[in-house]
């Protein structure tokens, strides 16, 4: 199964920029929360964006309040939304 990740840069109202991550890997999630709700839940994904954003692996987090969540990575202290697709 192939996994792809797209990182979405921009502020509310635009303009936006979408960049495809170089690599995506699945790891063990060592701090699984009991309630599964909160602003910074670790997922088992890590992404390497590359280019001007540095050549390092970044943990993907999820902000979850209710029945859905938003996945993001932290880049220079800014929460940046990511979309992960499996095909």
pLDDT of residue 34: 67
Token pair 């932290």 in the structure block, residue: 74
pLDDT of residue 33: 63
Asked if 57 contacts 48 with a C-beta cutoff of 8 angstroms, the reply is yes
Query: Across the 87 residues of the chain, what is the mean pLDDT of every consecutive 10-residue run?
Result: 91 87 89 78 92 90 92 93 92
Report, in this order, helix, strand and coil percent for the chain, each rounded to 5: 5, 60, 35
Domain locations in the chain as residue ranges = 3-86
pTM for this one?
0.86
């Amino acid at each position: 199964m192939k996994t792809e990740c797209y990182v979405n840069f921009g502020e509310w109202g635009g303009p936006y920029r979408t960049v495809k991550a170089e690599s995506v890997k699945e790891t063990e999630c060592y701090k699984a929360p009991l309630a599964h709700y909160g602003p910074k839940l670790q997922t088992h994904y890590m992404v390497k964006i590359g280019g001007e954003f540095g050549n390092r692996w970044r943990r993907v987090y999820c902000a979850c309040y209710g029945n859905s969540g938003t996945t993001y990575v932290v880049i220079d202290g800014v929460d940046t939304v990511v979309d992960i697709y499996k095909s």
